[in-house]
Homo-oligomer: A and B are copies of this chain.
Amino acid sequence: MSAADARKARARTAEPRPVRLCLIGFGSVARAFCALLAQQERALADAHGMRVLVSAVGTRGGSLLAPDGLTAAAVLEAVGDAPAPPQAARPASELLRASGADVLVELTVMEHDFAPVSTGHVLEAFALGMDVLTANKGPIAWNWDRIAEAAKASGRRIRFESTVMDGLPVFSLLELTLPDCRLLGFEAVFNATSNSIIDAMGQGETFADALARMQAAGVAEADPANDVDGWDAAFKAAALANVAMGAGITPAAIARESLRDVAPERIAQARAAGMRLRLVTTVTRGTDGVVRGAVRAAELDVDHPLAALGGDSLGALLHTDLMADVFVAERNGLVPQTAYGVYADLLHLRRER
């Protein structure tokens, strides 16, 4: 009998164990995560022995506190199409404490400049004896060493697969499938919006028009700095480099080139020469042992694995010592895939406990 079969057999005979979540942030990813929990309710019970309940939801506009726990479906029904949960907003620390949850699911929007609020949520959850799942790259990009230390000191766990490529396995790929491999460096396309803008400019649209169209469609963020100025990629680079390479860097240390400074002719010329322009993130460790990163527009030969990544694709070419170059990419990565990453992390947490 495989380990999975044995787990399933145990799960079927025992009453599913309740796992209570406190959700901070309730935007599109949190809603998709709840929808996935609702859809997988039976699988969670049968295959994993879990009954996942939501004890609290907190946003700046409202909250929902139910220490006994609601099903994910009940939470979605209680909030409906409203921008925030129905009860008055509560401070996150009050909500965390009152929830009595086992796991904080931190899904607030990314903060620039040291991510103090979301990092505070994570540390407070550890102090309350909770594990943490997050799709928010801020804490991992800015404060990984501090967070890892706090997790260790409190005996808690944190998982964050969806911080880098929408739930595509990269942290779990390195941790679980490439044992004893060292990550030496990586090249990546970490921002799908830039891909789309570059391709639109290659078709003759102006930068401003392409950006405005994508903002109107809700694909690009209102503040374009994250997407087109390389901040999103720099956050992701710092997160991956800190966790998998012990880099100890922050997004501010990653050099960035803005798409605003890329002439449309450069895109057309690349295409005419059989190349593709991409906003490429490169992270290497120097002979001095220091890890450095850069986000730059680069012409790639079409036979380079990153060249094929268009619109809603992200990917990373991982340079390892024992397994040479491993390339992992997603196609059609959207909000449900980001939510899946959080869901997978919940299952990893369960396996570890």
Query: Can you name the residue of chain B whose Cβ is closest to the Cβ of A345?
Result: B179
Asked whether A317 is an interface residue with its Cβ less than 8 Å from the other chain, the reply is: yes
Q: Which of A12-20, A203-211, A322-330 contacts B (4 or more CB under 8 A)?
A: A322-330
Query: Quick check: B303 and A305 within 8 Å, CB to CB?
Result: no
**Cβ 8 A contact of A330, one of B43, B155, B326:** B326
Asked whether A244 is an interface residue with its Cβ less than 8 Å from the other chain, the reply is: no
Kindly state the separation between the CA atoms of A1 and B352 in the bound complex, as whole angstroms: 11
Query: Quick check: B179 and A176 within 8 Å, CB to CB?
Result: no
Tell me the A298-353 residues at the B interface (CB within 8 Å). 302-305, 307-310, 315, 317, 322-334, 336-337, 340, 343-344, 347-348, 352
Query: Quick check: B308 and A343 within 8 Å, CB to CB?
Result: no
Query: Quick check: A323 and B352 within 8 Å, CB to CB?
Result: no
Query: Quick check: A180 and B343 within 8 Å, CB to CB?
Result: yes
Asked whether A5 is an interface residue with its Cβ less than 8 Å from the other chain, the reply is: yes
Query: Quick check: B326 and A168 within 8 Å, CB to CB?
Result: yes
Q: Given the known A-B contacts A328-B326, A331-B317, are A177 and B167 also in contact in the complex, defined by CB atoms under 8 Å?
A: no
Task: Count identical subunits in the complex.
Answer: 2
**Distance (whole angstroms) from the CB of A79 to the closest CB of chain B:** 23
**Cβ 8 A contact of A325, one of B177, B330, B347:** B330
**Cβ 8 A contact of A180, one of B3, B308, B347, B352:** B347
**Distance (whole angstroms) from the CB of A166 to the closest CB of chain B:** 9
Asked whether A173 is an interface residue with its Cβ less than 8 Å from the other chain, the reply is: yes
Asked whether A287 is an interface residue with its Cβ less than 8 Å from the other chain, the reply is: no
Query: Quick check: B305 and A331 within 8 Å, CB to CB?
Result: yes
Which residues does A use to contact B, with CB under 8 Å?
Answer: 1-5, 36, 40, 43, 47, 151-152, 155, 157, 167-169, 172-173, 175-181, 274, 302-305, 307-310, 315, 317, 322-334, 336-337, 340, 343-344, 347-348, 352
